[in-house]
Amino acid sequence: QVQFVESGGGLVQPGGSLRLSCAARGFIFNVYTMGWYRQAPGKQREFVARITSGGSTDYAESVKDRFTISRDNAKNTVYLQMNSLKPEDTAVYYCNTFGTNWGQGTQVTVSS
């Protein structure tokens, strides 16, 4: 069964950093593009970043130059390094590749 388990969220002050992890199961991880998404209260889920099987990356304009996506195919895990965090980055963060079987996500709160 396809499953995504996100971790690493928390409360951080503006300007701080967090590293999110997502363990994927139930499919051949290394051939798929993996993505990070987020959903803020009262808003729709939005794209944050993606990484292809070959390592090419793409970012939402709002996080470009602050966030870095990476993957470890040996561990079936995708990461999101988030630097220079802003209050508007507050959201539940999810990883996915198929657009289904969404996990619980991990809460990121940026506040002083």
Three-state DSSP state, 34: strand
For the chain, percent of residues with pLDDT exceeding 70: 100
pLDDT digits (tens, 9 = 90+) for 46-71: 999 999 999 999 999 999 999 999 99
Question: What's the mean pLDDT in 91-104?
Answer: 94
Q: In this structure, are residues 82 and 67 in contact, taking their beta carbons and an 8 Å threshold? A: yes
Indicate the average pLDDT of the chain: 96
Pick from 107, 109, 106, 89: which is nearest to 6 by CA?
106
Mean pLDDT over 33-45 rounds to 97
Own/partner pairs, 41-49, CB within 8 angstroms, 24+ separation? 41/91, 43/91, 45/94, 48/80, 48/93, 49/80
Q: Residue 99 — very low, low, confident or very high, per pLDDT cuts 50/70/90?
A: confident
In terms of Cβ atoms closer than 10 Å to its own Cβ (0-12, 13-18, 19+), residue 51 is buried
